[in-house]
Each structure stands twice: as structure tokens, then as C-alpha cells.
Amino acid sequence: MKKGVFYLIPNYLGENTLFKFDNSFKDKINEINNFIFENEKKGRAFIKKICPLKKQSLIKVSLLNKFTERRNLKKLIEPCFSGIDVALISDAGCPCIADPGADLVMFCHQYNIEVKPMVGPSSILLALMASGLNGQNFEFNGYLPIKNPEKKNSIKAIEKKSINTTQIFMETPYRNNQMIKDLIINLKKDTILCVATNLSLKTEFINTETVQNWKKMNYDFNKKPSIFLIQSKSKVF
């Protein structure tokens, strides 16, 4: 029997988005009934927004989050062994990119289940595209440490690497303003800092400046999903 396909389906990056999924994307969601969500309420709301006529009663839900044990991963893709397609939908952005799912995808490869990623918004790539920084060599660092001295040391370390490689990272939204303060304190004044906020939304804001110029700016990124990028100015200009 031919195995089902495992689809990786992106989600909007927030409310009031300017991004639109095409009809082929919507058709595929209409075809699939087995879904894996990080949060069921958010997952169902996304499907209802994309495919308002799809019956919610047909949707079979499994959950994949930080509480999911590795020994239970294979069970999530069991329908694929019976020829049934399964889709993993992110809470926001692309599955498996700073998001759960990589281990599950690895299981699919191990069992020769076809994996199909679908096109959608990625805050990390959108930020890099719009930053003006090196798009040939870049590194995503996820979340930096919260407390000092680990946070300070991490900022210093990625600044050194940014001479040749754009360094990208993120923060929990309610700590964004503190992150910028820490970057201003610990980065060299001529290092380039880009902050990309609310990407693909109507309130999108992207700004690339030297750290010295950031010191003069008024900003408030509190509770606004943001991506931070830095690069040594010696490599930019």
C-alpha cells in the first residue's frame, strides 16, 4: 500500500495579516482531515479561516508540543502507514523552524514517508530579506539566555561571529525592549542592528541602524513578535 504524505503547513504570523495563501494551498487543506497542532484551538481557528466551509467534525486532531514524549511521535504519523495524508500546522509561521516538528519529520524520513513542505510566511527569512545584511551567510541562534552574565557573553560571542555571518535571534515578545537595551549596552557602537517587528502584518516595522543610532531612537516593541539581526559594520560597508 502506498503511504500517505506528511505535509508541513505554515500559518499566518498574526492577526490583520497582509499575507494571502493561494487556492492550491486551500484545496490541500480541504482534502486533509488528519491534522497535528501545537494548540488545538489555534489550529482549528486557522483551518476555519482558510476553509470556512470545511466541517470541523471531520477534523481529527493530534497534538505536538513541549509535553509530547519522543516515544509517542510515531503514533502521530500512524495514518500515513494506511495511505492517509497527515498535516502538521504551526501556531505561527513555518513548522519546524523555531517550532516543534523536526523530530517528527525525521521519523517520516526513517519510515520512507514522503514529506511535503508548503509555501508560507517565515519571519526569519522575511527579516533577513528586508534587513540589508548578509544573505549569503547567516546563522539563526533561537533565543539568547535570559540572565546575565550568560546573556552578555552570548551577545558578545555572536557579535564576533557577525563579522562574516549575519546573526539572527529572537526574544519572548514581552522582553523585546529589554533585549534592545542589552544590545545597545553590549554591542559596539558601529555594529549594525536590525529589528523586524510584526512581519507580514499591517503594523509591520523594519529598521536597520547602527547601535549608536539606536541609542537616539524612541522605540516600543513590547509584546510585538520581533526578529533581531546583527552584523559587524566592517563587513557591511
Cβ partners under 8 Å of residue 178, min gap 6: none
Q: Would you tell me how many other CB atoms lie within 10 Å of the CB of residue 108?
A: 22
pLDDT at position 234, please? 58
pLDDT at position 236, please? 47
Q: In CATH, which of 3.20.20.70, 3.40.190.10, 3.40.50.670, 3.30.950.10 is domain 123-236?
A: 3.30.950.10
Give the pLDDT of the chain (237 residues) as one tens digit per residue.
899 999 999 999 998 899 999 999 999 999 999 999 999 999 999 999 999 999 999 999 999 988 888 888 999 999 999 999 999 999 999 999 988 899 999 999 999 999 999 999 999 999 999 999 999 999 999 999 999 999 999 999 999 999 999 999 999 999 999 999 999 999 999 999 999 999 999 999 999 999 999 999 999 999 999 999 999 975 444
Cell of 114: 514522503
Helix (H) or strand (E) holding 232: none
pLDDT at position 214, please? 97
pLDDT at position 233, please? 76
SS3 content of the chain, % helix, strand, coil (to 5): 35, 20, 40
d(CA 59, CA 65): 19
Locate the domains of the chain by residue range. 6-117, 123-236
Give the CATH superfamily of 6-117. Tetrapyrrole methylase, N-terminal domain (3.40.1010.10)
pLDDT at position 66, please? 84
d(CA 227, CA 134): 15
Q: Where are the strands (E) in 118-225, listed by range?
A: 138-143, 166-170, 192-197, 205-210
pLDDT at position 67, please? 87
Residue 229 has what DSSP assignment? E
